[in-house]
Chains A and B, each alone.
Chain A
């Protein structure tokens, strides 16, 4: 009887589900056409040697072997992305948290105005941001050197984007300028969801603002914090337009990142297969990163 009840349940569920499948079918077809098919095509391209025009020659996994064993720029770019990752999970998040605590917990006028101002870079096109910062870093006319010279700090003015030691941090600063606003709004929402009772209790126990943040706020916002870390980490590996527009990975590869190296291979060097292999590698890397972070987040939320 139980088996027939289960069988009946399955039959009923399939019939009941059919309209649902019909409703999602159009979206899924679009998804398959514009995401799944290109993804599979990309994987296929990563197994061929091709200049972008003309016949394709199947080479199997040679493109992957090449980038892992014979492409020094791959490891250089990977190193830069890892550095970017570690910086990304600290700098914009710490700045965002600091601003969030100020704007969510500190009584002050103009909180909405400040939130808007700090969030503004997030809504600008990354191309616009890149052009702005490329101008700001100009050694002759840029705002940064002009201000430094104006306040008598001429010795600090330099060619930021032409210095191999400084170019990556310079680009990262521009990137952080976009991202801290996003972190801030997530943390503001999280902080505002904490019951004030907990802060009151902490105040009664003599906790100052910093202690309240550390011992009360942070434990409550572990989930959003993990989400923000995951998203900024993914963004750190996806960074492209800022680097491409400002330096194209130079000077001498000092600011090269994986996405720019992928673009160069596919569209400048006419090595479409290698470019595709880099794209697949980058996608897999981000997926693995996401899985790790999601598991960590689940554990934090469970705690």
Chain B
């Protein structure tokens, strides 16, 4: 009996081993980089076919999710026969799941995602539909800033994703506190420094941040780095290029300013033990004057604060550099190559890029990328100030978006600097070493 059992066990294990060895890999489509081709289409688009399209969307804002579900329902009404299965995801969840989808070539027909979440990998592997022919055909190039869109589409002559809204990192500020102290939104770096010192001298915490979640503190560094570092250096490290240099003097200067602010007590107490939502609550509760953060915080701030909130782009200390902010397209609409309903998918994206949707998003308080002929009435004064800020500055990048291991080293080093264990130069040297190691491993 034991002999038969052993044979049976070995056979099952062998079968399992064979199954494990035969792992289907996606058919890699050889991508041919083409020259930009002007496509002139004379035929009208075909009516929507019978189709069920799966849409994966990412947002941390329940109001935005609701809006997208409502817009998807409107699309269905206008396209009889097309059903939209709309699935919202958290940012990290979408990143994990979409990479699995790319690997197995199953899952969504359409995804709304960021560059570090599979856009680049999908484009490189030829697993995303090339939208280039449709940009002119559908008039997207007239309605959108394609230069900003293309900053995140690194394939010459090919467009895999279309963005429809902008996010930027800037300074939310408590207008009540500012008005009490006779302050206004600063236009220059000197005015900005004066604002900070005045707040501190009057017993007001200038800034609030969240070291427990790491990235909110890093956003202060990113913002400063865009003001102190030539943009080509920022682009190099963002694209993980061989001559990228995190130890560039511009990055060191930004980290030095951040360290100076920490040492002078410009941040909330025990900020290394505070998470992002708690930091935002501290600002909403009036316990700090400014919150340098991304504009995805707008609805939470508008809902929670009982004071008037303003927004300004952080002024630059360096007049020789372009005035830039960490302003980027939010995420991108992409269509997967394996979709069975490319026409329906294109119609859906076309709708999402329409003026109707842009207006709906504007009315909801977002800043669409759509080039309105005339800016509609803002949903709030805060939205208008955010929009003005996006018009004043040029765009930027999330530095380590394609290198999360390097980003973690940046976060670790900033935590050590906040604890007084590293200098700004040592921080950037540590990050550069991690960056070089990553390049060596690639």
Contacts and interface: CB of A to CB of B under 8 A. Distances in A.
Contacts of B439: none
A250 B214 contact: yes
A51 B405 contact: no
A30 interface: no
B273 A54 contact: no
A111 interface: no
Interface residues of B, number: 51
Nearest to A270: B404
Contacts of B287: 140
Interface in B60-113: 92, 95-96, 99-100, 102-103
Given A10-B1, A140-B282, A251 B415 contact: yes
A53 interface: yes
A269 B403 CA distance: 7
Residue of A40, A51, A54, A160 most packed against chain B (CB within 10 A): A54
Interface in B242-282: 268-275, 278, 282
Nearest to A269: B405
Nearest to B98: A53
Contacts, number: 125
Contact of A162 (B118, B270, B416): B270
Contact of B212 (A40, A247, A264): A247
Interface stretch (B15-23, B223-231, B310-318, B325-333): B15-23
A68 B418 CA distance: 30
Interface in A104-160: 134, 137-141, 158-160
Contacts of B40: none
Nearest to A17: B1
B99 A52 contact: yes
A140 B274 contact: yes
B28 interface: yes
Nearest to B402: A270
A139 B125 contact: no
Contacts of A250: 212, 214, 411-412, 415
Contacts of B415: 164, 250-252
B12 interface: yes
A44 B21 contact: yes
Interface residues of A, number: 44
Interface string A11-30: 00110010001000000100
B272 A159 contact: yes
A300 B415 CA distance: 47
Contacts of A138: 273-275, 278
Contacts of A54: 26, 28, 103, 121, 124-125
B206 interface: no
A174 interface: no
Chain A interface main SS type: loop
Residue of A56, A163, A270 most packed against chain B (CB within 10 A): A270
A252 B99 contact: no
A36 interface: yes
Interface in B1-44: 1, 4, 8, 12-13, 16-17, 19-21, 23, 25-26, 28
Given A17-B1, A159-B270, A53 B19 contact: no
Contact of B103 (A52, A247, A268): A52
Nearest to A256: B412
Interface of B: 1, 4, 8, 12-13, 16-17, 19-21, 23, 25-26, 28, 92, 95-96, 99-100, 102-103, 118, 121-122, 124-125, 211-214, 268-275, 278, 282, 287, 404-405, 408, 411-413, 415-416, 418-419
**A-B pairs with the 8 shortest C-beta distances?**
A159-B273, A162-B272, A159-B270, A162-B273, A139-B270, A251-B415, A269-B405, A252-B415
Given A139-B269, A162-B211, 12 more contacts: A32-B12, A40-B19, A44-B21, A52-B103, A53-B125, A134-B275, A140-B274, A163-B273, A164-B419, A248-B213, A251-B211, A271-B405
